[in-house]
Amino acid sequence: MENFPAIELLNVGKSYGRKNALEDVSLTLSARQCLALVGHNGAGKTTLIKIILGLLKPDAGTLNVLHADPGRRQFNQLRRNIGFLPEQVLFQKTLTGRETLAFYARLKGVAVNNLDPYFERVDLQDAADRRVGTYSKGMRQRLGIAQALLGQPKLLVLDEPTSGLDPVARQNIYRILDDEKKNGTAVLISSHVLTELDDRIDRVAILNQGRLVAQGSIPLLRHHINMRSRLRIRARQDTCESLVAAFRLELPVERISGEEILLRCRPDQKMDVLSRVMAMEEGILDIELVDPSLEEVFNAYSATGPAFREDSNG
Ligand SMILES: Nc1ncnc2c1ncn2[C@@H]1O[C@H](COP(=O)(O)OP(=O)(O)OP(=O)(O)O)[C@@H](O)[C@H]1O
């Protein structure tokens, strides 16, 4: 299956009165990819999601979502290929989980007589015939995800998908998203929980006050602004002294204790530093390499705002 672009936005803008909610936003998301849309409160994430879903018209720019313009009437037909989980999942409390899912299945033209696999995927099989009013917050969230998965969508748009979920349920959701990706689905996640996204997304788009300040894979964004990785080394005292002497003119070096030092190296120095440290193998007891997290990348781009797109800046 080809990796066609599921979302292509070019120079999209939107204001509410005099408030510029989005300015000049250009964004792409391909099939089989997971993109995280991140930004502070009020950055414009919900506005962008509403525009992608065709619920809000932009004032400027061109849009292509599943090969169509979400603003056109023909897009209504395509909506059944999109699974959407809103930030606030509101269900009718008096209906059972099964009746709820059947309601959404009918809207999407999905057969209602075989909904069990959806309940199983989100671990709600034992609660499918209970009223939603008796569900916990996490169970309602999982029902919301089952609803978004109906009919094998080509595009999944999930606003805070793991909100209210325990660690096991969170892991299950990311497993489901991986399976969906393998089946060709493009996944867009909007989230504030950056710590859990690190190893789970392919690309990130950082919105800051309505502007997209960065877009690309986390390693690429780190590399672009030369963010330093931390190399924590436990070694014999004499080796620690040799390491400090060898690197102190080149890198920030911190002696944490008699047997521990911390080096901070740029992406282009990493391999060279590692091999020089490894050459002292006899005195080295342990090495831990920690790359800057998504949270650190987000903070760096949000603070300085060096606009970066992987296709325009190399
Ligand atoms: N209907 C509206 N009328 C006026 N201003 C609005 C409207 N909706 C959003 N805004 C403003 O547009 C900006 C972007 O809002 P948006 O809801 O898209 O941000 P967000 O990134 O989703 O925020 P959050 O993380 O808090 O959900 C904010 O300044 C918000 O106050």
**How many angstroms is it from 258 CA to the middle of ligand 1?**
51
Residue 52 near residue 86 (C-beta atoms within 8 A): no
Largest Cα separation within the chain, whole Å, is 73
For residues 118 and 120, what is the distance between their CA atoms, to the nearest angstrom? 5
What's the complex ipTM? 0.97
The SS3 call for residue 291 is coil
From atom 28 of ligand 1, which residue's Cα is the shortest distance away?
A: 42
**How many angstroms is it from 21 CA to the middle of ligand 1?**
7
Average pLDDT in the chain: 92
> What domains, with CATH codes, occur in the chain?
5-223 (3.40.50.300), 228-291 (3.30.70.1650)
Model pLDDT for residues 178-213, shown as the tens digit of each residue: 999 999 999 999 988 898 898 899 999 999 999 999
**How many angstroms is it from 16 CA to the middle of ligand 1?**
9
From atom 6 of ligand 1, which residue's Cα is the shortest distance away?
A: 16
Ligand 1 atom showing the smallest separation from residue 48 Cα: 18
Q: What is the pTM of this model?
A: 0.90
Residue 120 near residue 172 (C-beta atoms within 8 A): no
Model pLDDT for residues 209-242, shown as the tens digit of each residue: 999 999 999 999 999 999 999 999 999 999 999 9
From atom 23 of ligand 1, which residue's Cα is the shortest distance away?
A: 42
- CA nearest neighbour of 81 among 101, 60, 124, 52: 52
Ligand 1 atom showing the smallest separation from residue 40 Cα: 25
Around ligand 1, the residues with Cβ closer than 6 Å are 16, 19, 21, 39, 41-47
Ligand 1 atom showing the smallest separation from residue 210 Cα: 14
Phi-psi region of 226 (alpha: psi -120 to 50; beta: other; left: phi over 0): left
